Amino acid sequence: MKKIISRYFLAAAGCLALLAAAEAPAGAVPVFARKYGFSCTMCHSNYPRLNDFGARYRRNGYQLPGRENDEKTILQSPPPVALRTNAGFNYSRVANGAAADVRQFQLNGLDLLSAGLIDRNIGYMFVYTPVITPSRGSAAQDGVLEMASVVFSKLGSSWLNVRAGRFEPAYAAHSPKRLLSVSPYEIYGFSFPNGLTFDQTQSGVEVTGYGRNGASYAAGWVNGSETGNASQQASDFYARVEKVFGEGQGQTAGQRIGLMGYSGSAVPDSTLPAAGSKAFRRAGIDASLNYSRLNLALQYINGTDSKALWGKSADVNFSGGLAELSYLPATSVVCFARYDVVDTPSSVNMNITKWTLGGRYYPADNIALHPEYSYRKQNSAGGDITENFFTARLDYAF
């Protein structure tokens, strides 16, 4: 008994030591923060989510707005390399599905990032996820060049900026790459078999612009779906307009509403009979509403897919969205609750509902302790598939 108590005491002391270390003078943090001598919270309300300042910094091609003349390029800055990973305990219990239950400590992935300014008004962002072979608690990860893009800012004015390469497209109003939760946005991930997922980066070119009145636009031409990659043509186009009311950028202040349209074509999955490209469309409306330290993120999307993409006798029309409420009681804490829903026709029968609850505590700017629970239910021909998911993990970048 004494031994057990002393172990617990030691473990608790260790944890306290960790927190105490984290409360000591904060060091600089990844790439951009290191370059300027800032804290992460200059650009992130709660890393990885951007605040208004960060959103403006990003749209200005990784330059401080109004201070372009003072900027330093990557050759004048510390090595522009950063790393992000997270590890912790995962619990997942799936009923009526193919996935096996999980109840173990896992390393949940690794991102290698590089970003900076090549020259005035020419920025770049590079993210690579290396191959991780599942072993001894490491979750599998494909080796993917997630992002490799160059952004040319202010080509004449702020109304013309060009991003080219592989980038995070503007049609997703609430970034699937910088969301607070581990659990993904369902509506961005929902698609025909092996088809487009909105939560992935895209290869192509995107033109953006913005003015001082809070209005902005984005239009892109991208490869789109990865199905039938060999025969896939770059045939997808999208556009998005948004307007921010009040001071701010809609991330942590101001009220932002947006409209999005996407038109593409894809080759049906190889398991389906039809050949050749078939059309699909998405249209969406979104909002990010702020009141004090509360944020309500809303997204509604309606999709129409060619029947061939699903192997059905009629075109598939579905809709869905998300509503996420987050609250920042202090700089170092955020709590969030989200409801995801996808409503599909009976021919598809893949309705999804999901509740997610979670929080993040930041003992230092660049490390988060992240507990989260989600309950997901999806219709299927063989009965509802339900998943209870819980994670408690450390998410850190340096």
Partner 1 sequence: MRKILFFCLASAGALLFITHGNRLLAGEGFLFNGSLPPVPVPPDNPQTAAKVRLGMQLYFDKRLSADNTVSCATCHIPELGWANHAATDTGIKGQVGGRNSGSIIDAAYMKVQFWDGRAATLEAQAVGPIANPIEMGETLANVVKKLNAIPGYRAQFQEVFGTDATEEAIGKAIAAFERTIVSGPSPYDQYLQGDLDAMTPEAIRGMNLFKGKGHCSACHSGPAFSDGSYHNLGVGYVKGKYKDEGRFVISKKAGDLGAFKTPGLRNTAQTHPYLHDGSEKTLEDVIELYNKGGVPNPRLDPLMLPLNLTAAEKSDLVAFMNSLNGPVPVVKEPVLPN
In the complex, the residues that contact partner 1 under the rule CB under 8 A are 3, 6-7, 10-11, 13-14, 17-18, 21-22, 24-30, 33-42, 45, 51-53, 56, 60, 64-67, 70, 72, 76-79, 212, 247-249, 252-254, 292-293, 328, 330-331, 364-367, 396, 398
| Distance of closest approach, residue 244 Cβ to partner 1, in angstroms | 11
String of DSSP letters for 73-122: -GGGSS--EEEEEEEEEEEEEEESSSSPPEEEEEEEEEEEEEEEEEETTE
Alpha-carbon distances, residue 207 vs 140, 153, 177, 204, 351 (angstroms): 35, 10, 20, 10, 34
The set of residues, in sequence order, having a beta carbon less than 8 Å from that of 217 and lying 6+ positions away, is 208, 209, 210, 239, 240, 241, 242
Decide whether 351 or 366 has the Cβ nearer to partner 1: 366
CA 278/CA 268 separation, integer angstroms: 7
- Which CB, 86 or 225, lies closer to partner 1? 86
Question: Nearest distance from residue 79's CB to partner 1, in Å?
Answer: 7
Min. distance of Cβ 206 from partner 1 in angstroms?
21
Task: Name the token pair of 19.
Answer: 């927190």
- Among residues 33 and 187, whose Cβ is nearest to partner 1? 33
CB of 78 to partner 1, least distance (A): 3
Nearest CB to partner 1, comparing residues 67 and 103: 67
Strands (E), 121-214: 122-129, 144-152, 161-167, 202-210
Both structure tokens of 133? 């072979």
> What tokens does 43 get?
């650009």
- Which token pair is 210? 């913005």
Nearer to partner 1 among residue 22 and residue 259 (C-beta): 22
> What share of residues in the chain are helix, strand, coil (percent, to 5)?
15, 50, 35
- Give the HSE-up count for residue 265: Cα atoms under 13 Å, Cβ half-sphere: 10
Choose between 215 and 275: whose C-beta lies nearer to partner 1: 215
Of 118 and 148, the one with the shorter C-beta distance to partner 1 is 118
Q: Could you tell me the smallest distance in angstroms from the CB atom of residue 288 to partner 1?
A: 14
Of 375 and 398, nearer to partner 1 (C-beta) is 398
Query: CB of 149: closest distance to partner 1 in angstroms?
Result: 22
Per-residue DSSP letter, 140: P
Q: Are 302 and 283 in contact (CB under 8 A)?
A: yes
In the complex, minimum distance from the CB of residue 183 to partner 1, in angstroms, rounded to a whole number:
25
Shortest Cβ 114–partner 1 spacing (Å): 14
- DSSP calls for 303-328: EEE-HHHHT-SS-EEEEEEEEEEEEE
- For the CB of residue 59, give the shortest distance to partner 1 in the complex, in Å: 10
Instruction: Name, in order, each residue with C-beta under 8 angstroms of 109's C-beta and a sequence gap of 6 or more.
Output: 85, 86, 129, 132, 139, 141
Assign 53 to helix, strand or coil. helix
Cβ nearer to partner 1, comparing 35 with 278: 35
Between 210 and 310, whose beta carbon lies closer to partner 1?
A: 210
- In whole angstroms, how close is the CB of 18 to partner 1 at the nearest point? 5
Q: Determine if residue 158 is left, alpha or beta; phi over 0 gives left, psi from -120 to 50 gives alpha, anything else beta.
A: alpha
